[in-house]
Structure 1
Amino acid sequence: MPRSRRRSTLTIDDPKALRALAHPARQRVINELYNGEVLTATEAARLCDLTPSAMSYHLRALEKWGIVERDEDSGDGRERPWRAVADNITVSGTAHAAAGVAASSTFLVPWADEVRQGLERAARTLAHDIPDKRTQMSRGRLWLTAEEAKELDKELRAVLQPYKKRTLKNHPEGAVPRDGYWMLLPPPGSDV
């Protein structure tokens, strides 16, 4: 199968596609694929503690919504690798609104859980007097127009792009994985 031209960003606008993203195993494999990994169903299954056939089902469901695709054939018909269709994935506010709070929460809860687990890992290293130089956090409020928010997102993605090409199989010596999260959310008390 010829490899399609990879897009910079895949934007999920369909609330049904948002529901397809909600499964924790799908989120885990999306995280890996959208961070540059190319995985077979067997490799992805190991990450998610699933059988290869169960993972194949999830990968085909994600393929149906245009979220992942099969990579160039590896020569072994049984172990065809999968990859992300873009460098980044974004869920539009329209999709969140149309899906409703329950469906959006189903998508966001596993993501928030990943953040919580990462904070717990960082706290454990600090509790054992192990300096965790991998953890940096910041929080702040920005006053932005809609156009400025869009431009800021574009600029941040451009800054990160050279690092997103690095994978488990292709990174500089001494590099360790770091999960990053970027969100622009309305503050408490905001009606708009």
Structure 2
Amino acid sequence: MSETPEDPNEAGRRPLEVEGEALRGLAHPLRARILDELHMRGPATATLLGERLGESSGSTSYHLRQLFRYGFIENDPERSGGRERWWRFRPAGWRMRGGELLRGPSTREATEGILARYYGGRRERLDRWNRLVDERPDDPGVRRWRRAAEGSVAHVRMTPEETEEFGRDLQDFIRERLRPFQGRTAEDRPGAEPVELQTDLFPNLTGTDADPEDGPSAR
């Protein structure tokens, strides 16, 4: 899993590899909410995040420092020198190899919680949009976005090696297409809203010879 494709303009930067130690940076639910806010709505201060999330600025300030400690966020260089520090999501993003961390006794519990929140949040945001379309189809905001939003599923046959190569090519394409929109704020482009792109690339082993649930151990 990963958050934010690497920005090609960030020379020498790579996504943060979340491993054993860095897992602590994501261990608290409020930190995940703070990351979502910084990711979707751009740089913010502890006070601003506290107002948005219904938390005290002291609480958000503490968790911001923890996120900074583990490398998930950084100071916003365009808003330095003020009374309060502005924070931004790490431009190159982060990624974690969930399958490997789930197999480690020392990282399994933390990884399970992080993955549950991550995928649960993705599902919740998509469900929220679909409910709006269903329940408030005549709302001007919903009407404005209804035709732009889309979802699709593609089924093909690939080897693991081909799938890995396809995934790399797909991420390269996404990075290139997202480049003009990176770093935008609400003030930069009136009328623009946070847009979320979700991608999943995985083998559908159900009913195949490789299905673990259809092998001898499952009977």
The TM-score bracket by the shorter chain reads 0.7 to 0.9
CA distance in 2, matches of 1:92, 1:159: 25
**Partner SS for 2:95:** strand
What is the correspondence of 1:112-123 to structure 2 with a 5 Å cutoff?
Answer: 112-118=119-125, 119-123=127-131
Q: CA deviation at 1:147?
A: 3.4
CA distance in 1, matches of 2:76, 2:38: 11
What is the correspondence of 1:38-117 to structure 2 with a 5 Å cutoff?
Answer: 38-72=43-77, 74-77=80-83, 79-93=84-98, 94-95=100-101, 97-98=103-104, 99-100=107-108, 102-117=109-124
Q: CA deviation at 1:6?
A: 7.1
CA distance in 2, matches of 1:69, 1:10: 13
Identical positions, percent: 26
1:14 counterpart letter in structure 2: E
CA distance in 2, matches of 1:175, 1:148: 30
CA distance in 1, matches of 2:172, 2:202: 16
Residue 179 of structure 2 corresponds to which residue in structure 1? Answer: 161
Give deviations 1:44-68, integer Å, cap 9, x for gaps: 2222221111011111111111111
Residue 148 of structure 1 corresponds to which residue in structure 2? Answer: 166
Go from structure 1 to structure 2 and tell me whether the alpha carbon gap of 1:48 and 1:37 turns closer, same or farther (over 3 Å shift): same
Q: CA deviation at 1:40?
A: 0.7
Go from structure 1 to structure 2 and tell me whether the alpha carbon gap of 1:92 and 1:169 turns closer, same or farther (over 3 Å shift): farther
Q: CA deviation at 1:8?
A: 5.1
Task: Report the aligned-residue RMSD.
Answer: 2.9
Go from structure 1 to structure 2 and tell me whether the alpha carbon gap of 1:49 and 1:7 turns closer, same or farther (over 3 Å shift): farther
> Does 2:189 align with 1:183?
no
CA distance in 2, matches of 1:169, 1:23: 31
**Partner SS for 1:69:** strand
Go from structure 1 to structure 2 and tell me whether the alpha carbon gap of 1:139 and 1:24 turns closer, same or farther (over 3 Å shift): farther
Q: CA deviation at 1:175?
A: 1.9
CA distance in 1, matches of 2:47, 2:11: 23
CA distance in 1, matches of 2:58, 2:72: 19
CA distance in 2, matches of 1:108, 1:121: 21
What TM-score results when the alignment is normalised by the length of structure 1?
0.77
**Partner SS for 1:181:** coil
CA distance in 2, matches of 1:7, 1:88: 13
1:113 counterpart letter in structure 2: G
The structure with the larger Rg is: 2
Single out whichever of 43-52 and 158-167 deviates more from structure 2: 158-167
In the alignment of these two chains, the number of paired residues is: 185
What TM-score results when the alignment is normalised by the length of structure 2?
0.69
Q: CA deviation at 1:162?
A: 1.6
Go from structure 1 to structure 2 and tell me whether the alpha carbon gap of 1:19 and 1:183 turns closer, same or farther (over 3 Å shift): farther
